[in-house]
Amino acid sequence: MVKIAITGPESTGKSTLSAQLAQHYNAPWVPEYARTYLDQLERPYAAPDLEAIARGQLALWQAEEARNPELLFLDTELLVLKIWSEHSYDICSSFILENLRRQNVDLYLLLDIDLPWTPDPQREHPHLRQFFHDWYKRELDQIDVPYVEISGSAEERLQNAIRAVNQVLHP
């Protein structure tokens, strides 16, 4: 199974690109669990919620992986939760860190911040987009995983992502 993770700061089109790639390749994609979790939360989120989100995200992945698709797209992944946790609380649970190390993703698509910010009640940092993009890039370099930066208009992003995925599928 080839796993492609779409990652990056808020409002960079991760969910849109995940759905587009899944449709293009007729492959499944795992949506971002945090949205569902936070929509149902009747209080401000706290540090323990991030581990609960990670557990929910992993449960969704495992359910999809059990179907054994040839290709699977992950809308966000545990690096998102690591950065979110460290930025918000200066800590990250050992559960998130351990499972991040075991993600076993074949390619990360790091989305650039060149799309306009889209306001959303769950988004928090429109003024820190470059800061977060740089942080994602440092983390991906540090954990030494294959990644490609994806930028451009919505259509350019899709075409750039397809090229990157094809390089993994047909080296």
State how far the Cα of 154 lies from the Cα of 6, in Å rounded to an integer: 14
Q: How confident is the model at residue 126 (pLDDT cuts 50, 70, 90)?
A: confident
Residue 127 has a CB neighbour count (10 Å cut-off) of 8
Read off the pLDDT of residues 37-51 as tens digits, 9 standing for 90 and up.
999 999 999 999 999
Mean pLDDT, rounded, of the chain: 94
Q: What is the DSSP string of 113-156?
A: S-SPP---TT---GGGHHHHHHHHHHHHHHHT--EEEE-SSHHH
Domain of residue 37 covers: 2-169
Number of domains composing the chain: 1
Residue 73 has pLDDT above 80, yes or no: yes
Q: What is the DSSP string of 78-92?
A: HHHHHHHHHHHHS--
Q: What pLDDT does residue 116 have?
A: 81
CATH number at residue 138: 3.40.50.300
